[in-house]
Chains A and B, each alone.
Chain A
Amino acid sequence: MVDAPMLELRDAARYFDVSRPWLQRVIAGEGKRLLRAVDGLNLSVPKGTTLSLVGESGCGKSTVARLAVGLYRPSAGQVVFDGRDLAEARAASDQRRRMQMIFQDPYASLNPRWRVRDIVAEPIRAFGLLPNRAAEEARVAELLTQVGLSPLDGHKFPHEFSGGQRQRISIARALSSNPEFLVCDEPTSALDVSVQAQILNLMKELQSRMGLTYLFISHNLAVVRQVSDRIGVMYLGRIAELAPAESLFRRPRHPYTRALMEAIPDLDMTGRVRIPVGGEVPSPITPPTGCAFHPRCPLVQPRCKAERPELRSAGDAMVACHAVEEGRDAA
């Protein structure tokens, strides 16, 4: 038995009640409606590694991020942080400081009325990590330097910075409580490519220097390839495929993974004709029966409409697909 994983989801699910108000429901004679944002997810993130979740809007990847840091409680199943139930771990501040989150929008996630030094120092103060102001100032300066800003930037307000610099501030804030586990929800989606490269390089550098564990959420497969050890492809609240990064790209198994890769514009301009996946992601309120991907799947068979596929081993990957299981996916 090696180290316990940093984070583990055991059949974790999160439902949202999206029913109409009671009276309207009674008049229309309809029942409650549940949106199954995350529906029975199993995954684990070993220490010091990066697990990425990719998928299109509405697939539940951000809900997983929020489950992972305890912003949502699971409706069913369990979220385990370093061997302890997350809810229990979060009750203790010495556990809580070990996890931090970086959000997508660096314009919305920094308080515009606070100076950068106060933003970065807030976790230090909240957890009472340093004995006095002088130590705190030195630590903030160190953190700002670490993320490629100047200690003098501490006196400024967030609006004086560009998007990329703001994301650096968010990272400095996240690092200030000496966390071991960072949940990054689309940390570079709001940034330009040249700035995205800077932030991705910084995150990789910090990981190798501090041994951080990342749960990385993104819709961009190319970005995910650069940062991940393992990748989970999500579709409608479930994992379609979970595989080591390199084998996912070398040999995508699930038809949805293949469709996603197929859909990415070709920068090499080989003149390859792309076959876009037809249709759109169905509503998670009324997901299709059986395999949720079946209405768009080129390999669909009657079994796919009736029976939901479980995640099963296929080589070094885990795939939830009847076609792969039956060996019908040869391509």
Chain B
Amino acid sequence: MTGQNPLLEVRHLRVEFPTRRGTLVAIDDVSFTISAGEVLGVVGESGAGKSMTGAAIIGLLEPPGRIAAGEILLDGRRIDNLRYEDMRRIRGKEIGAIFQDPLTTLNPLYTVGRQLAETMTTHLPITPAEARKRAIGWLDLVGIPAAAQRIDSYPHEFSGGMRQRVVIALALCAEPRLIVADEPTTALDVSIQAQIIALLKSLAREKGTAMMLVTHDMGVIAEAADRVAVMYAGRIAEIGPVRNVVKQASHPYTVGLMGSIPPLDRRVERLAQIDGAMPRLSAIPKGCAYNPRCPKAFARCSQDRPDLLPAGPTQAACWLYDGEGTHHG
């Protein structure tokens, strides 16, 4: 991706929550890019800040959360400081969002056809008749059988998997250049999940759409992502090509996380486990946030906070890789 301008660029993003007991830092100095046609997976445990990073990008942070520092650029243009109305126009047209629960995304009072057509007429210069025709096309594309008949159905008339397909059609129909998908398959059964992932992946490839795929499921990431960012306590612990992160992780946290996934192909007597739990935002340890749980921690880890350092093919925020260039190989 050298020389090519990234579609989305997040620079030193910091999200804060002011509370009565002081300011909590939910996202701390997060930077990454996504190119057109690329799928960036974002993984981490609950509370690591992965969903919040997505919310910050689409401009839907829950108050009192706010972007305290950093920039978000879409195609070179800053979008983090836009007024609400300007951002609303970008959302839907330039950035599509897919959330975990399809029922809360769809309006129960409108037919899916109306919701699709309305989205398209709002963002694209087309007539209502054309929008309806395209809506049928989209439903067909996301794999809803008999789309021409189902277009006048209400969301409750669809099953969970079909509803999530409608949500995907809704996110894609204005032909956005970036999709933020937050746990799009978590509420679905495995057999449906496989269908939805395959669909998202092929659509991103075909249309050259960039995608940020937020999930806690490493299997989904391994399947769908080109690159992965692993988040821990509001920071990126490791980022790199999916194959390297999954199979030969550098950061001790990624190693622990991967080790704790129960394998499907064999039985192990005891699963690798990371002792303890992720710290609360109000009690993030000094130095590297992972140091109290890290089997490889040394003196410096509890003093200084590491930034992302080159660690072979990936980048890891870990002091083990300080001076990596000299002893690499």
Contacts and interface: CB of A to CB of B under 8 A. Distances in A.
Q: Do A and B associate with each other?
A: yes
Contacts of A226: 262, 267-268, 271
Nearest to A262: B194
A107 B201 CA distance: 34
A265 B193 CA distance: 9
A194 B260 contact: yes
B129 interface: no
A267 B194 contact: no
B79 interface: no
Contacts of A163: 46
A193 B218 contact: yes
Interface stretch (A91-99, A118-126, A215-223): A215-223
Interface in B159-175: 159-162
Interface in B101-157: none
Interface in A257-307: 259-269, 274, 276-278, 280-281
A204 B216 contact: no
B247 A259 contact: no
Most B C-beta atoms less than 10 A away, residue of A193, A262, A276: A193
Contacts of B256: 194
Interface stretch (A20-28, A36-44, A195-203): A195-203
B192 interface: yes
A204 to B, nearest CB: 7
Contact of A56 (B191, B262, B275): B191
A46 interface: no
A47 interface: no
A225 B218 CA distance: 18
Interface string B262-280: 1111111111111101000
Contacts of A164: 277
Interface in A45-76: 56-57
Given A198-B275, A204-B270, A265 B191 contact: no
A276 B195 contact: yes
B271 A266 contact: no
Contacts of A274: 194, 198
Contact of B271 (A56, A200, A219, A264): A200
B87 interface: no
B28 interface: no
B273 A194 contact: yes
B246 interface: yes
Contacts of A245: 267
A222 B261 contact: yes
A204 B277 CA distance: 20
B262 A197 contact: yes
Contacts of A262: 194
B190 interface: yes
A220 B218 CA distance: 13
A280 B192 contact: yes
A221 B191 CA distance: 12
Nearest to B264: A222
B222 interface: yes
B206 interface: no
Nearest to A281: B189
A278 B220 CA distance: 18
A329 interface: no
Contact of A277 (B191, B217, B261, B268): B191
Contact of A264 (B219, B268, B270): B219
Most A C-beta atoms less than 10 A away, residue of B189, B198, B269: B189
A264 B193 CA distance: 9
B273 A198 contact: yes
A266 B262 contact: no
Nearest to B277: A162
Given A56-B189, A219-B189, A267 B277 contact: no
Contacts of B305: none
A192 interface: yes
Nearest to A221: B264
11 contacts: A162-B277, A193-B216, A195-B45, A196-B262, A198-B274, A201-B273, A263-B193, A265-B222, A266-B222, A274-B194, A278-B195
Sorted from nearest, which 9 A-B pairs have the closest CB atoms?
A265-B219, A197-B260, A276-B194, A56-B189, A192-B45, A197-B271, A197-B273, A265-B223, A222-B262
Given A194-B274, A200-B271, A204-B269, 13 more contacts: A194-B273, A197-B260, A198-B274, A201-B273, A225-B262, A225-B263, A263-B190, A263-B194, A264-B219, A265-B217, A267-B263, A269-B242, A274-B194
